[in-house]
Structure 1
Amino acid sequence: MVIEWLKIKVAPEMREQYIQKDAEIWTAFLSEYPGFLGKEVWINPDNSTEVILVIRWASREAWKSVPSDRLAAIEQQFAQQLAGSYPIIEAGEYQVRKFPQS
């Protein structure tokens, strides 16, 4: 499993709307792809401008197989719905390692 990790900067008064629209638009879109396993949204109780998205993919290949033109179209739709853009201020990729239990 691969984790796509994104830290987004959001105005505090827009945070809940951002999270709602993210679920309606981005999560619905990603759910169309077989390698998408799920998504969590983390909020920082000490920083109301920070939203972390943790997206689980079956493999890196599944994640990277989402067509870039479709990603761009969804990003445009998302920005229009929220009347603005919300910068990704950090991004990362992680592999989930599981070890056999003895």
Structure 2
Amino acid sequence: MNLTPAERAGERGGATMVIEFLTFRIDPDDRAEWLSHEEHHWSRFLEQQDGFVSKQMWAPVDDPTTVHAVIWWESEDHWKSIPRDELDAVAAAMGPHEREPTMTAYHVIREC
């Protein structure tokens, strides 16, 4: 991702960029199918949201049961402005593949 100096400082239009860091526990035998459903439902939905920057899926080298979703937002206001009913509809569309993640949010304070 190529960022301007202001963006590297975590600022976009006066707002601080925020990272939504989700951790999922997924059975390794189900991971490929889960990732396919996650991409089809969650990724396509998020890409349509104002303030969405990018999303990456990470898997720890030493833990096949964990998947992290790392989602970049222009600001916390953009991230938090998604209506709850729309989030619930995407979760319902995931059906049996929906998983409840743990979540941590981060502000980008500098990029080197």
Which TM-score applies when normalising by structure 1? 0.86
Equivalences, count = 96
Tell me which protein shows more strand as a share of its residues. Answer: 1
Q: Which runs of 5+ in 2 are unaligned?
A: 1-16
Partner of residue 87 from structure 1, selected from 85, 89, 100 = 100
Within 5 A, what are the aligned runs for 1:1-102? 1-78=17-94, 80=95, 83-88=96-101, 90-98=102-110
CA distance in 2 between counterparts of 1:85 and 1:22 reads 8
Report the 3-state secondary structure (helix = DSSP H, G, I; strand = E; otherwise coil) of the residue aligned with 1:44: coil
Contact between 2:92 and 2:98, CA under 8 Å: does it hold in 1?
A: no
**Alignment match, 2:10:** none
CA distance in 1 between counterparts of 2:108 and 2:36 reads 27
Aligned-CA RMSD value = 1.6
Structure 1: which amino acid aligns with 2:107?
A: Q
CA distance in 2 between counterparts of 1:40 and 1:95 reads 17
Q: Which runs of 5+ in 1 are unaligned?
A: none
Structure 1: which amino acid aligns with 2:36?
A: Q
Report the 3-state secondary structure (helix = DSSP H, G, I; strand = E; otherwise coil) of the residue aligned with 1:46: coil
Deviation at 1:85, TM superposition (A): 3.8
Deviation at 1:86, TM superposition (A): 2.1
Q: Deviations over 1:50-86 (max 9, x none)?
A: 00000000000000000000000100101x2xx2442
Which TM-score applies when normalising by structure 2? 0.79
Identity rate, percent: 31
